Amino acid sequence: MSLALPAGVRVDAPLHPRFDEILTPEALAFLAKLHRAFEPRRQELLKKRIERQTRIDAGEMPDFLPETKHIREGDWKIAPLPKALECRRVEITGPVERKMIINAFNSGADSYMTDFEDSNSPNWFNQVQGQVNMKDAIRRVISVESGGKTYKLNDEVATLQIRPRGWHLDEKHVRVDGGRVSGGIFDFALVFFHNAREQIARGAGPFYYLPKMESHLEARLWNDVFCMAQDELGIPRGTIKATVLIETILATFELEEILYELREHSAGLNAGRWDYIFSCIKKFKRNGDFCLANRSAITMEVPFMRSYALALIKACHKRGAPAIGGMSALIPIKNDPAANEKALAGIRHDKTRDAQDGFDGGWVAHPGLVGIAMEEFVKVLGARPNQWEKQREESFGQKDWLNFQPEQPITETGLRNNINVGIHYLGSWLAGNGCVPIHNLMEDAATAEISRSQVWQWVVSPKGKLDDGRKITAEMVKALIPEELAKVKAAVSAGGEKTATYDQAATIFEKMSLSPDYPEFLTLPLYEAME
């Protein structure tokens, strides 16, 4: 198989069956046009991230932007939403893998966010096969054979939303004029080009989720991409709707500004809790006063997380936008009724709190949890599709969002768990699986980032001490890694999986956890190592 490539476009990757349906000359020309128009701005914004991190490392603390005060104090709303996005009480998420797509569409959830980002290992095959899967799913012709059964879509399916990669990620296999294209624009451009008109004809789309933003200027870039994409295909501006994941501490200070920049295309905000915790650790990693307790102690009910969630609801409902709660990582547990009941009770508690606080819906990671989550939102919403009218009156700001508690406990069990989860997830990711059940939790790239970042920060921070008084050191971490690697390999082997990638994962985890210069994203060097 060979491709007819537009001028300036190069594809350095194998072509599997049906990839030519996605990588058409017209689609690649569309991608190249977006790249040429917006790549300089993307690079400029990534440079601004580095500059701001340098200032934070030197002691600067984030606060509201004085230059956007008029936006926060202005009288404006986002554009009206289409009927398909009015009811999002339960949203299910997962990677763009064929069987997962079918199960999620059929799950009974109101909405399904299919993921080219954190729950998807972004090797070349997964990214382009995911596009093939989307093309089939949107046209309702997707099916898969598994275990002697044929899986296909039901008559009633969830509303589709698609998450491309964040601004920081490249697609290394495709170059335009010699430079790599943005991973996010690659994912968006191809799925939009091939499917937008079909989604419009079916009355539900094109809808997106946007990850990892750190400022309203990054939202403005996405908005401009949307405008140009719609103009190029002759689609009215405002047809695209996108929900922004608020999963960085810096974005919390620009909630209303982000909604404002995307107001013609906005579908609200989502409280992306796991990446948010990672962002807090990453941004204040060199602050001697900052040190978070075990990951398990950082719940949605600790002060800085709770105030962030409530502020998101307030900002959204003030501006007529949906507020979507984040993911509880709990999943059903087979063959252990007591543990399963505890997990389900945790899901109920999480969704009850979110619904009562004012969220219009929340995420789950497993079809078996849709019913429980739906029950808790229906108890609060009744027959209403949402609670956009619920207004929160509290005031939130720097004192709330930077109140990083608790600092204790930090335990050997917590340290070991971070090492274990980090190695296990990385090994699976390298093998091509980005959504992994580990210790009865559904883990994705965000949890691996938390795991290695906490280890790094505990080693560096003077507060990084175990509850028995021992200081966490690089030597301690190096001694524990082989022990946890052995446990991971035993667990993987018991499940019938190969262990070939886990030694490499342990080496990478040690380097990323103990490097003197903290690597900004775990996935960047990992991506360079994969095909």
Helix (H, G, I), strand (E, B), or coil: what is residue 94?
A: strand
With respect to residue 468, please indicate whether it lies within any of the assigned structural domains.
yes
Residue 400 domain-assigned (yes or no): no
Counting DSSP H helices and E strands in the chain, the numbers are 19, 15
Encoded tokens for 302: 């600790």
Which residues, in sequence order, are CB contacts of 447 under 8 Å at separation 6+?
A: 274, 295, 329, 421, 425, 441
Question: Rounded distance, CA 230 to CA 236, Å?
Answer: 6
> Confidence band (pLDDT; 50, 70, 90) for 15?
very high
Query: Catalytic positions, please?
Result: 163, 444
∠ Cα 521 525 531 (to 5°): 130
Is residue 93 a part of any domain in this protein?
yes
pTM of the predicted model as reported, rounded to 2 decimal places:
0.95
Q: Does the residue 352 lie in any domain?
A: no
Query: Two tokens at 414?
Result: 């917590």
Q: How many residues does the chain have?
A: 531
Indicate the helix (H) or strand (E) that contains 419: helix 412-430
CA dist 149 and 102 (Å) reads: 13
Closest CA to 184 of 238, 262, 122: 122
CATH of the domain at 78: 3.20.20.360
pLDDT over 90 percentage in the chain? 83
Cα–Cα distance measured from residue 346 to residue 286, given in angstroms and rounded to the nearest whole number: 34
- Partners of 162 in beta bridges: 114, 208
What is the pLDDT averaged over residues 8-29?
Answer: 97
Instruction: Using the 3D structure, point to which of 273, 292, 311 is the last residue of a domain.
Output: 292
User: Where are the strands (E) in 288-385, listed by range?
Assistant: 323-327, 361-364
pLDDT of residue 444: 76
Nearest Cα neighbor of 244 from 163, 158, 358, 362 is 163
User: Which of the four pLDDT bands, split at 50, 70 and 90, describes residue 495?
Assistant: confident
Return the structure tokens found at 69.
Answer: 């005060």
SS (H, E, C) 193-232: HHHHHHHHHHCCCCEEEECCCCCHHHHHHHHHHHHHHHHH
Neighbours of 93 (CB within 10 A): 25
Cα distance between residue 267 and residue 358, in whole Å: 16
Q: What angle do CA 331, 337, 342 make, to 5 degrees?
A: 55
Beta bridge partners of 529: none
DSSP β-ladder status, 170-176 and 179-182: antiparallel
Tell me which of 12-26, 295-309, 495-509 is least confident.
Answer: 495-509
How many structural domains is the chain composed of? 2
pLDDT in tens, 112-164: 999 999 888 899 999 999 999 999 999 999 999 988 899 999 989 999 999 99
SS3 letters across 301-323: CCHHHHHHHHHHHHHHHHCCCCE
Report the candidate in 414, 416, 396 with the shortest Cα–Cα distance to residue 406. Answer: 414
Element (H, E) at 429: helix 412-430
Residue 394 covered by a domain: no
- Averaged over 315-340, what is the pLDDT? 91
Residue 435, pLDDT > 80, answer no
Secondary element (H or E) of residue 378: helix 370-381
User: Is 101 within the bounds of a domain?
Assistant: yes
Give the CATH number of the domain where residue 504 resides.
1.20.1220.12
Angle, to 10 degrees, between the axis of helix 445-460 and the axis of helix 474-494? 160
Whole domain around residue 91: which residue ranges? 11-292
Angle between helices 445-460 and 502-514 (to 10 degrees): 40
Last residue of a domain, one of 251, 270, 292: 292
Structure token digits, residue 243 = 């929900």
Would you call 363 helix, strand, or coil by DSSP? strand
Q: Which of 292, 324, 350 is the last residue of a domain?
A: 292
pLDDT band at 1; cut points 50, 70, 90: low
Instruction: Specify whether the CB–CB gap between 150 and 144 falls below 8 A.
Output: yes
Is residue 348 assigned to a domain? Answer: no
DSSP letter at 106 equals: T
In a domain, 367, yes or no: no
pLDDT for res 480: 98
Could you tell me which of 293, 278, 291 has the C-alpha nearest to residue 463? 291
**Is it the case that residue 467 has pLDDT exceeding 80?**
yes
pLDDT digits (tens, 9 = 90+) for 410-419: 999 999 999 9
Q: From CA 349, how far away is CA 354, in angstroms rounded? A: 9
415 shares its domain with 283: no
CA-CA distance, 348 to 377, in Å (whole number)? 10
Question: Is the Cβ–Cβ distance between 393 and 386 less than 8 Å?
Answer: no
